[in-house]
Structure 1
Amino acid sequence: MADATAALSARSKVQAFLEAARAGDLDSVKKLVAALDEEGKGAAAVAAAVRDANKRTALHFAAREGRTDVCAFLIDQLGLPVDPKDDDGETPLIHATRQGHLHTAQYLLDHGANPSVATSLGATALHHAAGIGNIELMKLLLSKGVDVESESDAGTPLVWAAGHGQQDAVKLLLQHNAKPNTETDDGITPLLSAVAAGSLPCLEVLIQAGADPNIRAGGATPLHIAADSGNMEIIKCLLKAGGDPNTCDDDGLKPIQVAALRNNREVVELLLPLTSPISGASNWNVDGIIEYTLSKDVEEKVQVKEATPLKSASLPRPQLVEVSSDAKRRSLEAKSRGDDAFRRKDYLVAVDDYTQATELDPNDATVLSNRSLCWLRAGQAERALEDARACRALRPDWAKACYREGAALRLLQRFDEAANVFYEGVQLEPENKELVSAFREAVEAGRKFHGTDKPNPTR
């Protein structure tokens, strides 16, 4: 191993060191950190300085994989700080928690990790523990005094738990005085999150705790959202809790009309006797309501020919960089490694490989598209959007680049922008059913759930 280590380039040693930490190969970690100390600065200083393209240290990689023995070596033997932040503001504790590694999280906390540190998007370790429903991890974090009402861009830990259908996590947070009606900046509450996730158990627990069944978000009530999805059990639960079937959303539609737009006869039939007659609907029966609602909606339906003009031509195109044949070859090799990691669903490793590829060949839009998808799968929508837009700048006539940008915008709940971008892709490839479907879904999502900013680009 010593001879092989000596033969590695400095960059290769860095990659091997981080990979050894990820794999839990403690012997290699020790040998590689010694090999990296070429200038005699000391193993601790060298190890602390080694970071990947996203500023993750060996401790991040070890914690993410639950390699507690490697974490112990890095902290106890080398004296590495326990709370370094990567580019997303995530600490090793957050990495360990997101993957459900209880013992690693316990070790980090016992050695001074701050459980209240939040990422750049405001999420703490408790948010992630609640999202995966790991009760033991949640109890551990709560015992350290973490604020149960800490706000991330996507809400409190209770919103995360409800949105992921984690009933036991919802119960535990409520027992620790989490507020069932706390709203995000977008007006989303835990109850709305549970309804959107289709989680009846979480919904029932929240209602019992006093959650408001008539809260509005984006102009719609929980009944509107449930009627749109057609979840009969959720609808019945909301009605029993006092959900108002006669409240109109911002488009002037009652829940029964939302169900009618979906041609969902079962939901329309359920809501019919509870809904006051609608002016203009002459036949107040299931068929009459569906026929009236659909005919009224015809003039508002999204027509491809009426949508906004194509914008891709106005995108700034970057200056292409001259790339040597050797750099292109090495870029393709890094891209191939990224493809392999993606197939293993190891998205963050794939990001590292794609980063190397794009550094070697900045002209390859495919690499940016692939990295955008990896960021999306890893839940990093802002980074996904940044790469998608860079990809479109390189290839403005590529429909897939439009799809990548629209998908990132959709994850960010910027539905109006997503609809516009998806439509630009449709103009490039009118027969692309995936793009057409994504376009209409974005419009529908904006109109039904976050419709306050006129998400329909044709209006």
Structure 2
Amino acid sequence: MAFFIEKKDSSAIPEHMLEENQLPNENNLALFTAALDGDFERVKSAVKAGAKPNYFHRPADGATSMHAASRSSTIEASQIMNYLFVHGGCLDAKMITNHNTPLHEAIMHSNKSTVEALLDAGAAFVPNSFGNTPLHLAVQQGNIQIALLLLAKKHPVDCKNNRGMTALHICCNLCEEKVTTPGAGGVAAPVAAAMNPESYLKLAGALILYGCPLDEVDANRYTALHAAASRGNLDMVQLLVDSGCDITIKSFMQLTETKVVERTAQQVATLNSHVSVEAYLEGCEKKRQFGSLIPTNVHVSKWTKGVITAAKIRSGQKENEKTVNVAVGSAANVVKTRAKV
């Protein structure tokens, strides 16, 4: 059997990936390590000596000096990022392994000042190979300040990843006191959640105020409410219901060729033995049947009032604070309007 390798037109290859920009030499290696160390003086020396900001230190993953600088937590990291960009660094270079851009990497390492520098330079809100946008990652990290910064910069709030999950889905998936991971012998071992569940509640409230759709479904037709119910977080469930989510949507799981399971969020809570959530949603269903399930937005106000205004957002701060104050102040009107649609 013969195998053929398709020859790509060089014009279709991003400039930073061209062979002349990927020549291994001492200066390029020095630049990458200096950027990773967050040493501005060494970075400048390497660039002046002819180092290429877009050189891949490890060709297998495709990380450039821009990626390296975004991972650094030193106080000079944002300055290094700006310097590399001015000297030809590709702002949205994607790694070969996971398609992370420098913005993804900065968010994953919680480097807020570097995130600000990248956004000021015009970094794009592109997904990585998992479909996760910068907002997905900020929420996954439980980083309220970075999430709010992205939202203030008009990051789309309704993006879905490859599993069909919005940022709100991620909030609801992470909002439990403890999570479990496979332990020795296959026994589940409880470990502390990455962030206090209250952080995810505040993030969810902010996402809702910014217009994140409540009833989007993922690959298993789980809504954010299904996810919250499966985690047993009553506060998150109440927040979603008070915001006007649809409690009747059913999930869809194809277990076998002939067996399909569909469940409401209440049934998901029952399945996972979350008694308080089950009882609350049962009461909501009775109110819905009698036409008395009216969103109040009480929990949106509870978890978001002051959260965004307290965040130190350098860019677009005034506009953002005004938006939040108006949204929280007229919360009932917002959800009533949404409920009628």
TM-score by length of 1: 0.46
Structural mapping, 1:14-413, within 5 Å: 46-48=25-27, 57-76=29-48, 78-85=49-56, 86=58, 87-100=60-73, 101-120=77-96, 121-147=98-124, 149-154=125-130, 155-198=132-175, 199-219=200-220, 220-250=222-252, 251-275=261-285
C-alpha offsets along residues 319-372 of structure 1, whole Å, 9 cap, x if unaligned? xxxxxxxxxxxxxxxxxxxxxxxxxxxxxxxxxxxxxxxxxxxxxxxxxxxxxx
CA 1:99 to 1:240, structure 2 compared with 1: closer, same or farther past 3 Å? farther
Rg bigger for which structure?
A: 1
- Aligned partner of residue 275 in structure 1, secondary structure: helix
Q: State the Cα distance separating 1:94 from its structure 2 match.
A: 1.0
Q: Which amino acid aligns with 2:208?
A: I
* Equivalent-residue separation in structure 2 for 1:181 and 1:129 (angstroms): 22
State the Cα deviation string for residues 359-410 of structure 1 (Å, max 9, x = none).
xxxxxxxxxxxxxxxxxxxxxxxxxxxxxxxxxxxxxxxxxxxxxxxxxxxx
Mapped to 2, the partners of 1:275 and 1:211 lie a distance apart of: 23
Q: Percent identity?
A: 24
The whole-number CA distance in structure 1 between the counterparts of 2:36 and 2:213 is 37
User: Which stretches in structure 2 are left out of the alignment for 5+ residues?
Assistant: 1-22, 176-199, 253-260, 288-341
Q: CA deviation at 1:107?
A: 3.0
Distance (whole Å) between structure 2 residues aligned to residue 117 and residue 239 of structure 1: 40
Gaps of 5+ in 1: 1-43, 50-56, 278-459
Preserved contact between residue 71 and residue 111 of structure 2 (Cα < 8 Å): no
Structure 2 counterpart of 1:84, which letter? Answer: Y
Which structure features the higher share of strand residues?
2
- Structure 1 residues 266 and 45: CA distance shift in structure 2, 3 A: closer
Give the conservation status (yes or no) of the 8 Å contact 2:173–2:228. yes
Cα displacement (A) at 1:122:
2.2
Deviations 1:43-81 (A, max 9, x none): x974157xxxxxxx34322222212222222221x3111
Q: Residue 82 of structure 1 contacts residue 113 of structure 1 at CA under 8 Å; is this kept in 2?
A: yes
Q: Distance in 2 between matches of 1:179 and 1:254?
A: 28
Q: Distance in 2 between matches of 1:58 and 1:205?
A: 42
Q: Could you say what secondary structure the match of 2:142 adopts?
A: coil
Contact 2:139 2:167 survives alignment (8 Å): yes
DSSP-derived class of the 1:72 partner: helix
With normalisation by structure 2, the TM-score equals: 0.61
* Structure 1 counterpart SS, 2:139: helix
Supply the distance in 2 between the matched residues of 1:242 and 1:164 (Cα, whole angstroms). Answer: 26
- Name the CA distance, whole Å, in 1 between partners of 2:213 and 2:156: 11
Q: RCO (CA 8 Å, sep 6+): is it higher in 1 or 2?
A: 2
